[in-house]
């Protein structure tokens, strides 16, 4: 079933989306919206009985773990590569007055 989108609907959608559309853009949008609605009708023909809704194509599970520090305070080793150090930290040029 071909959906016919009228000018009033396009105007309303334009207002909701805060878009200013030229007449040519409105005509194009009407055709595209009609095609989208036709596609939705096609999808509605599918038998989805017993199919659970999903948010992603692949199964995704959150993997929680304790936030455990593994490398500890290795400040001395880290600062070996510092061009300049001050009070146990990297010294960098001042960027804000």
Provide the CATH number for the domain around residue 11.
Answer: 1.10.20
Strand 89-90 and strand 85-86: the pairing is: antiparallel
In a domain, 18, yes or no: yes
Model confidence pLDDT, tens digit, residues 45-96 = 999 899 888 878 888 888 888 888 887 778 888 898 889 999 988 999 888 8
Number of domains in the chain: 1
Tell me the whole-structure pTM to 2 decimals: 0.48
Model confidence pLDDT, tens digit, residues 25-50 = 999 999 999 999 999 999 889 998 99
Report CA-CA distances (Å) from 21 to 10, 11, 78.
Answer: 9, 9, 58
**Which pLDDT belongs to residue 52?**
85
- Domain span at residue 28 reads 7-44
Is it the case that residue 3 has pLDDT exceeding 70? yes
């Amino acid at each position: 079933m071909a959906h016919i989108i009228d000018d009033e609907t396009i105007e309303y959608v334009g207002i909701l989306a805060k878009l200013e559309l030229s007449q040519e853009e409105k005509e194009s949008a009407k055709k595209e919206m009609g095609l989208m609605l036709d596609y939705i009708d096609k999808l509605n023909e599918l038998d989805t009985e017993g199919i659970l809704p999903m948010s992603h194509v692949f199964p995704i599970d959150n993997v929680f773990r304790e936030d455990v520090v593994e490398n500890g305070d290795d400040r001395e080793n880290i600062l070996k590569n510092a061009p300049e150090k001050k009070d146990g930290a990297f010294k960098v040029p001042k960027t804000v007055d």
